[in-house]
Structure 1
Amino acid sequence: MPIHQLKALGQSVWLDHIDRDLVHGGGLKKMVDEGEISGLTTNPAMFANAIGSDAGYAEEIRALLHQGHPPATVCEKLAVPEIAAAADLLHPVYENTHRRDGYVSLQVAPAFADDTAGTIAETRRLWRAVERKNLLIKIPATEAGIPAITQLIAEGINVNVTLIFSQALYERAAHAYLDGLEQLIAHGGNPAPVASVASFFVSRLDAAVDALISSHLNQCGWIKTYNALERELLRNLFGKVAIANAKVACERQQAIFSGPRWDALATQGAQKQRLLWASTGIKNPAYRDVRYIEELIGPNTVTTISPATLVAFREHGKVRPSLGEDVARATTLLSTLKTLRISLDDIASRLTSGGVKQFSAAYEKPINAIQQPFP
């Protein structure tokens, strides 16, 4: 089965989904027991959909509101037990892989994305609330998030650095992790149990770059802006930037997690921060539905996969060690963006901010629903 072949090539598969039936109805346990998945990621949109579509939550919501809890607290009291239960189901994986896999991710409220102290305090609170060693707290790679990551790693709290779209953001996330490990060790802590992943979002990046390319090609003054050769170069970039970006990020990871600095940490038992491929479902229906899984297969990485993409990959996924292919060409492709006056860093910055806003809207959705007169 293709999904099992990913594991054979050293890649972990984490399901990007959660709902009550998955956790308590046996679906998650079955996938874990059969070796299909070895982790779980969640986001506010998933809980919004689960709370809105599962009538089983209604009685619990009414009881919590009757007790005087505000809607935001009600949502958290629904989510935290689901996260803890999922973590318990994945705990054998956590043990059997020596803390490499078996994690469940929970996101800090988007309201704290630009607040370093608030992110730190909220992460500590969620860490205590779930009380599971195989929990990863998702923190966006914003200006405020990066120093928070260092502090939390220094306290021994696992972090999933999310909403990464560029090499520059990735390097900051990786060094924040290293800084945190060094501070932890300096204060007598043990780095061995501390885990982190750096989540690169792929399909969202292609969607943004493709839209920008289309805009450049279709604008009224395009003849003056780009010559014929440049227009052809632009057309050849459609659907290729995100995969190239991920391949180059792997090279950067290998450079960062090697040499004297890393060796000193590894000697103390530290584990590498792995790259995680997020947003792997296609945004453009013209693309192959499993392309972001197929083209980013490599060792020491994690791929996240939605239920729909998981079904598709089971049916027709093709497996090969694709991540290490054509890295030089990927580097050239990213250089071509600069030649064509397209700044990946600017796009990445907008996407990170936009991602925070998207999560914020999803986070508010169930809260707003609960604020209405509840039957």
Structure 2
Amino acid sequence: MLSSYTADLHIHIGRDMYNDPVKITASNRLTLPAILKEASRNKGIDMVGVVDCQVPAVLRELKQLIVQGDAKELQEGGIRFDSVTLLLGSEIEVNDAKGQGPIHVLCYFPQIHQMELFSEWLSHRMKNISLSSQRFYGSAKELQWKVKDLQGVFIPAHIFTPFKSLYGKGVLRTLSEILSPDLIDGMELGLSADTQMADQIEELHSFTYLTNSDAHSLGKIAREYQHMQMKHPSFKEFQFVLANKNGRKIQNNYGMNPKLGKYYRTVCSECLTYLAVEKSVCPNCHSKKHIKGVADRIAALKEADEHCSSRPDYTYQVPLEYLPGIGKKTYEKLLKSFGTEMHIIHQTTREKLALVVSEQIAQAIIDMRNGKLHVQEGGGGKYGFIK
């Protein structure tokens, strides 16, 4: 029997078991155990992808959790901890792009054994295997072939971000310039794009879209996620979902309104003034330098006017902490009353919410559930915000 499960498949580790940095820009509190506990006990996520599992210290910590009996490897792939399944992932930087490059890609593997083989292979092709998102010295296609050789999944990451992404900096016009399309399993949209925006590029129509948080802190876990229809959370079922096989599929994508993304609008790179893309000089500081926004980049590549009819819905949402009026104490009160953040966002009635928080906050949660958020656009590395 198929059921609905919540998945966020792009989460970084800030510190390893020895308190050494993994993702330099991530929170020190973002440890592997903290991620698993936050996802299962507070967020209510059924499946998470941790994308720094190629790091030897992270692999040692995973095996230690299994030896201690706190986690176990699943026969169909993945590692079970409490009520959450961990997918072993790795984010890698590739720089053989035809545009300006580089690009980031996500690689996932079913078992620790395959990730260990991948880590050993990578260690001879990058300078520091112990840090996240490091430069891979080889071609993108070479990396694709290795991932497939180890029964893995290959997904380009945050594909429209102006820096380090497939369409932002990687290619001039088409993904086949640097990647083999038949070895791509899905596409991660990123925070500044949604389904309708991405489907303006015709070559993306055949791919399953993923919406993930790219979390660099515990609070950002599940700022984007998806509901997946599958038998149970495992690597094999995840593969079926990506291929839309045997009834498995993405049921709904949940993500921030692209206008909240920090690269949605084109801005002056000196003073962050919003610019019309055709303007070459900033009217505020007269600089000729700009950071091209995702919306304008997609407009330049646009080939199609309508998105695929088979796509699931894309619902605009944000974590509860993004909503005005919900501070730490209010958030903790909501969790104590209703369990997990996913339950609050998707199921708790307005009437029950109003018994715990103010009418205004209760209504804000319901408005968010229905995709009704008023936002100020972001750009140039500065996030938008909810009005």
Q: Give your verdict on TM over 0.5.
A: no
The structure richer in strand per residue is 2
Which range, TM-score by smaller chain? 0.3 to 0.5
Instruction: Answer 1 or 2: higher relative contact order, Cα 8 Å, separation at least 6.
Output: 1
